[in-house]
Amino acid sequence: MIRSRARRLPVRLRVALWYAALLVVTVVGIGIFLVAALETIMQAQMDEALRLRASRVEREIRTGDDGRLDPGDVEAGLLELEPLEEFSTPGIYVQVRDSEGAIVASSANVQRGELPITPSMLDAVFAGQVDYETLPTGSENLRVLAWPVDSGAGTVGIVVVGQSVRSLDVVRDGVQRLILVAAAVASLVALAGGWWVTARALGPVADMTRVAREIAATGHFERRIGMPPADDELGRLAATFDEMLGRLEQTLRMQREFLADASHELRGPLMVLRGNLDLLRLGLPEDERRASVREASDEVQRMARLASDLLFLASADAEEVVEQEVVDLDRLVREVWDRASSVDGGAHELALGCHDALVARGDRTRLEQMTWNLVENALRYTPPGGRVELGLRTQGGHAILHVADTGVGIEPDHLTRIFDRFYRVDRARSRRQGGTGLGLAIVKRVAEMHGGRVDVASTPGHGTRFVVTLPLLAVGRSAPTGVASGAGAPALPAAQTAAH
């Protein structure tokens, strides 16, 4: 619940709050460390002062031959501080006790009673050790040191030195209050500074949001967000937005063109079908009825092919990677050449040049359709008697499939668009020849899906050459190439020669 409410806060406020919280935690953490360090240093200084005072008193005590500590063994004034020492180590209390714990002497500032000492401190002293402890006495605490008095034959007494820790508590409390005040001031400064800094940092984001809203509202996808002056995260975000807008603009443009072209392509066959159906209702002679049925059947086949090509491209757009089977490219090319020889009926000179045992990985049906589209395109735009060449070779671990013809060629202005869907150099003639305008688009898409590419070079009036480059799975030994022409010519054996 708390997290969901926090997410509803503006980003600017959230960043300011996080910045303030981080700064407060940092200040408090440093303050705790400083207080602990200051307390340790002051206590160490206090312990050192107590040690120096106790050792001085112990050195000045003169025990008699009886091995006991008597009041006469402590000189008068020994337990009092010198005037100058009162400034450096004020408030030090001193008592001397014998081995039984009875008070032998006390400093003048010990008004009554005795300085506190614990059994553990007594045990440490009679073991010849020095012991420090902080003990309560009345309304305050004392830092107490127990120091043994050694007569040479053993411990005969104890020097107890104490000092109030009130000064240490006062300093510690004062520093803690200062740290709390500093944390409060730091939180206010952090909130104001974080609010101002985030406003400047998120300013470009607000501008990008405003432009994106305008683009979404108006549909003007040709606009761009614009690059911030710095090449940082915001700059890369703006560049990503612009790239996305460019792709979206291109997609929408292609969609509009596709819908327009598809409706135009379908309108013609539908009109022909409607006209032929109307003619069939008029009771025409048998030969004219047959012609009308034949024409209607051709248009239906053309529409079926158009629908099949559209479905193919739609499915190809959804499948970025194709890896289904091992494809023998040499056999595939020979099968396409056989089909072309059968369909052409001897109208063109067909030449075949193959490389032995070129193997790729992919969809054999689609690769065959790609190759057939190129050959069919060459046959369609090459006048009777012209030459169409289909070849396959290897180069640098890639299969190079080329289809060349001596046909009408393509003007340079059209070369950059011939792979667009429904694009035709001569729309009227292409439609009469039965093309759907999708053949070369399918060629390019299939090549790209298999990790390859397609290139084209053409000279108007002299012919066109398409080259498809595909990655190979394996490369076998080269075999001599074959050549044939005319209709129904079989695939030539490897012993025959080829013309390229």
Helix (H) or strand (E) holding 134: strand 131-137
Six-digit token string for 117: 């000492």
Q: What is the pLDDT, as a whole number, of residue 346?
A: 86
Average pLDDT over residues 270-288: 79
Rounded to whole angstroms, the Cα distance separating 411 from 424 reads 12
CATH 1.10.287.130 fits domain 233-314:
yes
DSSP-derived 3-state class of residue 106: strand
Q: What is the pLDDT, as a whole number, of residue 324?
A: 75
User: 2-172: which CATH architecture?
Assistant: 2-Layer Sandwich (3.30)
**Which range among 59-73, 246-260, 296-310, 440-454 has the greatest average pLDDT?**
440-454
* Each residue's pLDDT tens digit, 286-300: 888 788 888 888 778
More confident: 310 or 399: 399
CA 330 to chain centre: 43
What CATH number labels 322-475? 3.30.565.10
Given a cut of 70, is residue 59 above it in pLDDT?
Answer: yes
For the whole model, what pTM was predicted?
Answer: 0.48
Given a cut of 60, is residue 476 above it in pLDDT?
Answer: no
Q: What is the pLDDT, as a whole number, of residue 500?
A: 30
6-10, 60-64, 248-252, 272-276: which range is least confident on average?
A: 6-10
Average pLDDT over residues 226-234: 69
pLDDT band of residue 304 (cuts 50, 70, 90) is: confident
Given a cut of 90, is residue 240 above it in pLDDT?
Answer: no
Rounded to whole angstroms, the Cα distance separating 292 from 296 reads 6
The answer to whether domain 2-172 and domain 322-475 are alike in fold is no
Find all residues with CB under 8 Å of 346, minimum gap 6, and list them.
485, 486, 487, 488
Q: Could you tell me if 198 and 15 are in contact, meaning their C-beta atoms sit under 8 angstroms apart? A: yes
Percent of the chain with pLDDT over 90: 14
Domain boundaries, given as residue ranges, for the chain: 2-172, 233-314, 322-475
Given a cut of 60, is residue 328 above it in pLDDT?
Answer: yes
Q: What is the pLDDT, as a whole number, of residue 228?
A: 64
* Each residue's pLDDT tens digit, 344-392: 888 899 999 876 678 888 888 889 989 999 999 999 899 999 999 999 9
